[in-house]
Amino acid sequence: KSLNPQTPPCVFESKLTTFLNLKIRGTSTIYVFSGKRRNLIKILYFDRSGFCLWQKRLERAKFVWPKKDPSEVIHISTEQLQWLLTGYDIWKMRAHAELKFEKVC
């Protein structure tokens, strides 16, 4: 199934049931949708001149998807989005703490 051009751009007429509202630092909001089987992701965003729809389907693997409230906006970096699309579980990954030194001997 596909998007119906007669409907608002955020309304999908497909079997994509899980919705994730992401805010990537430094960019506009993107909307990420996933199917029940977690092998398909669609990303919808606006790029100053129109809406863009991007899709990735995995042949054998599944995307790691957060168990969060779908109405909650999740802030991630572009690097974390790349990790999500690559197959990493960004919800369990933790970066090293950033060190700030005031004095150097």
Q: What is the pLDDT of residues 52-98, one digit of tens each?
A: 888 988 888 888 776 666 666 677 777 777 888 887 877 777 666 67
* DSSP β-ladder status, 73-76 and 16-24: parallel
- Residue ranges of domains in the chain: 1-105
Q: Which residues are within 8 A (CB) of 13 and not within 5 positions of it... i.e. 6 or more apart?
A: 1, 2, 3, 4, 7
Q: What is the DSSP-derived secondary structure letter of residue 86?
A: H
pTM: 0.58
Question: Is residue 15 very low, low, confident or very high in pLDDT (cuts 50, 70, 90)?
Answer: very low
Segment 7-22 shows an average pLDDT of: 45
Distances (CA, A) of 42 to 14, 71, 95, 102, 103: 11, 17, 27, 45, 48
